[in-house]
Structure 1
Amino acid sequence: MTPPVTTRRRALALALGAPALAAPRLARGQGTDWPSQVVRYINLYAPGGANDILSRAWCQAMTELTGQQFVVENRTGAGGTVGSDAIAKSRADGYTVGLGGVANLAIAPSLFPNLPYDPARDYSFISGLYRQSNILIINNAVPARSVPELIALLKANPGRYNYATGGAGTTPHLTAELFKTRTGTEMPFVQYRGGAPALIDLMAGQVQVLVDNIAGPIGAVRDGKVRALAVASLERSPMLPDLPTLAEFLPGFDLSSWNGLIAPAGLPPAQVQRIAELSLKALANPTLVKVYTENGASPWRVGPEEFATYVRAQEPRMRELVKLSGAAAG
């Protein structure tokens, strides 16, 4: 029997060791040629809101950058957990990505005891997308024109002034509770179903203090219908650059909304890097930056490792704040 001919390629592989024969090859679309088809982007929120506008701006920038369509699919419900579950259970081929942020990755595990997904196990973390400041505003009749004056007023009148947010367990709600803890003040919480009705009641004097994402009340602030005192991010907002941060009065105070790009767990590392590189380029698109700024957001240009590390650090922090606030799903 004639022995098999050992080709030069096989001999080289044998010389390098048996594992070389089994070295995996990335399928088409999993490496440097991604994307080679339409990409589905799952947004957790309803069409027309700030998160939807910001998501579509990123998808448009990615379409322009890659020549492939990025199609937004709105999967709403249960504080973003419905869409999050859909992302987690999608095929890990790089052609389903979606929104992963403070609500579904860091807060939801403390609000929903039977969460259908595990933020630490079920996702590939790709890149940051954007951050949004929360803003502290008051009714114009409240006799305070700065954060120190508001703190003094609240301490002199414990329980007299109410504060509102657009929902329990949201970053505005947790911001207000952290503010109360840091300042030793008392303000009863009035919960609304969304920031818009809360703002209406603030202007009418039904509540005296409101914390919300900056994009919601920015028009009322600029029109002088309410008084803005500070933003809750470490840096001042480009939308209101003259408005101070809470950290300028309460060192280290930082509680903003943040969102990044996630995909189902199991994406090959080379594909994660490829998507991240393109995402970071898209976040520098001037049109995207303009849309972000107009909607109270700033591009968050962090890669896979930094994004994953940040998420892991935020979940226990949010758990403590949810416990402090007494928030529960419902």
Structure 2
Amino acid sequence: MLTRRSALIAAALTPLAAHAQSWAPSRPVRLVVPFPAGGATDVVARVLGEHMSGTLGQPVVVENRTGAGGNVGAETVVRSPPDGHNLLMGTMGGLTINPHLYRGMSFDPARDLVGIGMAFETVHVLIVHPAVPATTVGELIALAKAQPTRLAYGSAGAGSSTHMVAELFRLTAGIELTHVPYRGSAPALNDTVAGTVQIMLDQLPSCIGQVQAGRVRALAVTGAARHPLLPEVPSMAEAGLAGASATSWGAIMAPTGTPAPAIARLNAALNAALGDVSVRARLVQAGADPVSSTPEAVAERMRTETAMWGRVVREANITIN
């Protein structure tokens, strides 16, 4: 017998399911990835696109359009016909951070894009060089307060997720750290391992090998809970810094004006892919935790995080060249 809660959920999903049956793509669907081929976002898009092709009955073709921190690819989709055949693999940076950093953006992600559904999340890990005399977040904060600006953290560059998440941590903890931007996460991680910089808030897939090898020490993860790959490492919330919780994430987007039946059908195809065991395994192998959602959940996450990252940009006075 249906419970009241399950009946309400079923009622909410009925219109979406009805829409999903009333539209189908009439030609190949383009999925724009605003980053180079071979990266984690590109891999996720290709894995999901392959499964979605079978569900939709038309190929989902991944197209890489790079430049301006993801803005070039996003604008390509924004300027495309809103007919369900043009999609974007959007990311946290492009959808919620770039509007605060690129003052000359010709589009507004919140206004000009609509969510199809979430796709993946990646937690960050607060890591320190083994020579740093801190084994907990609390000890690191005390050390930083005792030696303001002496500790340095590396990032993939100004405005990158490894920069923004680190600044969120710094602001929440109320400490001063010196930012050392690199051209990419790999050189920043290498210098953290070498001790040239002492701290990094790297994405888990990038640093897990160095953590497991003992070349860096993990103090916390930025997800809502502990991560299965690092079960002994507390979350930021457990460490007393719930305000420093944040993840990098991706969502499939479409141009605003895309018909509701197309959004519903694409959402159903995306969630079917994310529910497939083999797809989930391939995403995890690529370092992405699969996440499914409704289009409304994407919009709410964009609203919440656009406000959050705007505060970080303002309070940390972050600019890009």
TM-score, with length taken from structure 1: 0.87
Which string of whole-angstrom CA distances, capped at 9 and with x for unpartnered residues, describes residues 260-296 of structure 1? Answer: 1101111111111111111111111112211222233
In 1, Cα distance between equivalents of 2:118 and 2:39: 19
Matched, 1:197 2:187: yes
In 1, Cα distance between equivalents of 2:170 and 2:118: 30
Matched, 1:236 2:226: yes
| Aligned partner (choices 166, 178, 188) of residue 188 of structure 1 | 178
Read off the aligned partner of 2:252 and give its amino acid letter.
L
| Aligned partner (choices 186, 192, 209) of residue 219 of structure 1 | 209
C-alpha change, 1:67 and 1:274, in structure 2 (3 Å) is closer
Matched, 1:130 2:133: no
Which string of whole-angstrom CA distances, capped at 9 and with x for unpartnered residues, describes residues 124-146 of structure 1? Answer: 22111111111111111111222
C-alpha change, 1:244 and 1:263, in structure 2 (3 Å) is same
2:7 is matched with none
In 2, Cα distance between equivalents of 1:38 and 1:30: 18
What's the RMSD between the two structures over aligned residues? Answer: 1.8
2:4 is matched with none
Matched, 1:56 2:46: yes
In 1, Cα distance between equivalents of 2:128 and 2:42: 27
1:74 is matched with 64
> Shift in Å at residue 161 of structure 1?
1.2
> Shift in Å at residue 310 of structure 1?
1.8
1:307 is matched with 298
SS at match of 2:197: coil
Matched, 1:325 2:277: no
In 2, Cα distance between equivalents of 1:81 and 1:245: 31
Which string of whole-angstrom CA distances, capped at 9 and with x for unpartnered residues, describes residues 172-215 of structure 1? Answer: 21222222222222211111111000011111111000112111
Check whether the contact 1:133–1:296 (CA below 8 A) recurs between aligned residues: no
| Aligned partner (choices 158, 161, 165) of residue 151 of structure 2 | 161
| Aligned partner (choices 109, 131, 137) of residue 141 of structure 1 | 131
SS at match of 1:72: strand
Structure with larger Rg = 1
Check whether the contact 2:47–2:279 (CA below 8 A) recurs between aligned residues: yes
Which string of whole-angstrom CA distances, capped at 9 and with x for unpartnered residues, describes residues 298-326 of structure 1? Answer: 22211111211221222121111111222
In 2, Cα distance between equivalents of 1:325 and 1:292: 33
In 2, Cα distance between equivalents of 1:203 and 1:114: 37
Which stretches in structure 2 are left out of the alignment for 5+ residues? 1-18
1:246-325 matched pairs, under 5 angstroms: 246-253=236-243, 254-325=245-316
SS at match of 2:250: strand
C-alpha change, 1:33 and 1:183, in structure 2 (3 Å) is closer
Aligned pairs, number: 302
In 1, Cα distance between equivalents of 2:61 and 2:55: 14
> Shift in Å at residue 30 of structure 1?
8.9
| Aligned partner (choices 109, 116, 121) of residue 99 of structure 2 | 109
1:25 is matched with none
> Shift in Å at residue 245 of structure 1?
0.8
SS at match of 2:190: helix
> Shift in Å at residue 90 of structure 1?
0.9
Check whether the contact 1:125–1:261 (CA below 8 A) recurs between aligned residues: yes
- In the TM superposition, structure 1's runs of 4+ consecutive aligned residues that sit over 4 Å from their partners are none
> Shift in Å at residue 66 of structure 1?
3.4
TM-score, with length taken from structure 2: 0.89
Structure with greater helix percent: 2
